[in-house]
Amino acid sequence: MNDLWNGLPAMAQDSLMFLALLLPIAVLAFVILRGFAPWPLVRAMLWRFRGTSLLFGLLIAVSVGTGIGLVAQERALRQGSARAADKFDLVVAAPGNEITMLLASVFLEPSDVSLLDGARFHAVASHPGVDFAAPIAFGDSVGDAPVIGTTADFANHLSDGHIEGRLWQARGEALVGAATGIAIGAELEPAHGVGAEAEEGGNRPIETACLTGAL
């Protein structure tokens, strides 16, 4: 039953919930008004006070529409966040704020956080209970987009193998996020830092990066 409900479009779910809320009121009204004929009186009152009735109708419509919009946005945000984090079973990071580390590693929010050293990552990756582990390094950017260092296996894991173009095969090659609007084949110069604090130039391992694919 849950799978059937979750498979419905958001508009269908909202409509069914709205009908479920109205159903008790409709049943109660039917029981109370049974044997009476109130509709001519209702029509006469609505027509006599048509301006006030129209205003109240518009207010109710706006309030209902606003409520449905907020519920739909909340659901979309919750489902989008769950899908983004679905590929991450566990995040292992240096000591710090858990929320900050989650936003930095899963949602790529710019953050000043420490990185694990190679020895600690190797200890995690080689643990018998770990099927797959990948490093995530950040700190550089291109414009407002962060530059992320990781492995080709992790890029395939995130995209389920659906990469436009090809993976990087040599030093100085990279993938680009499809939402950035940057074309495959472009050459970019990463800066150290993000946003207004980014430093052009400097001592970086890679001065330019050629984009070979998008995910």
The string of pLDDT tens digits covering residues 12-68 is: 887 888 888 889 988 998 888 888 888 888 888 888 998 999 999 999 999 988 988
Residue 115's closest CA among 83, 84, 140, 132? 140
Answer yes or no: is 91 within a domain: no
If asked whether residues 12 and 76 sit together in one domain, one would say: yes
Residue 176's closest CA among 196, 199, 159? 159
Query: How many percent of the chain have pLDDT more than 70?
Result: 92
pLDDT at 194: 67
pLDDT at 168 over 80: yes
Answer yes or no: is 182 within a domain: yes
The answer to whether 151 and 174 have CB atoms below 8 angstroms apart is no
pLDDT at 56: 92
Radius of gyration of the chain (CA): 28
pLDDT at 90 over 80: yes
- Model's pTM, two decimal places? 0.58
Quote the tokens at residue 11: 């508009």
Range of 161's domain? 98-214
Answer yes or no: is 54 within a domain: yes
* Size of the chain in residues: 215
Answer yes or no: is 136 within a domain: yes
> 33, 62, 85: which is the final residue of a domain?
85
Answer yes or no: is 202 within a domain: yes
| DSSP letter string, 56-111 | HHHHHHHHHHHHHHHHHHHHHHHHHHHHHHTT-S----SSS-HHHHHHHHTS----
Answer yes or no: is 207 within a domain: yes
Could you give the number of structural domains in the chain? Answer: 2
Answer yes or no: is 178 within a domain: yes
If asked whether residues 126 and 80 sit together in one domain, one would say: no
If asked whether residues 195 and 150 sit together in one domain, one would say: yes
If asked whether residues 56 and 128 sit together in one domain, one would say: no
The answer to whether 206 and 184 have CB atoms below 8 angstroms apart is no
> 28, 50, 85: which is the final residue of a domain?
85
pLDDT at 201 over 70: no
Cα pseudo-dihedral 63, 65, 68, 74, rounded to 10: -90
If asked whether residues 81 and 103 sit together in one domain, one would say: no
> 85, 109, 125: which is the final residue of a domain?
85
If asked whether residues 138 and 200 sit together in one domain, one would say: yes
If asked whether residues 6 and 73 sit together in one domain, one would say: yes
Answer yes or no: is 62 within a domain: yes
If asked whether residues 74 and 177 sit together in one domain, one would say: no
